[in-house]
Amino acid sequence: MIGFVLLVIPGIYLSVGYLFAIPLVAERQFEPWQALEFSCKLVTQQWFAFFGFLIVLTLINIAGIIPCGLGLLFTIPWSVCAIAAAYEDIIGIANFSEDA
């Protein structure tokens, strides 16, 4: 019980909080720690909504495991696209000029 309280619950909180850290590093060239902090600040405002979003994605991916794992070929890319769409909706995609 102590391990659950000290490890699992904070792990769930941080995994939801750090949802947009990798896209921030890849797209906005944030430093890793800066991206983790920014993502956590963004997600904390509506933490339960993002938690529900990740629960739904997890259930969809679990359903993809049922047909011998072949469904994951469809559900994992769909999940990544859903996270990218949420990122674009919340943060927006930066427009960089290719002429420069």
pLDDT one-digit tens code per residue, 33-44: 999 999 999 999
Q: Quick check: pTM over 0.85?
A: no
3-state SS, one letter per residue, for the chain: CHHHHHHHHHHHHHHHHCCCHHHHHHHHCCCHHHHHHHHHHHHHCCHHHHHHHHHHHHHHHHHHHCCCCCCHHHHHHHHHHHHHHHHHHHCCCCCCCCCC
Per-residue model confidence (pLDDT) at position 99: 47
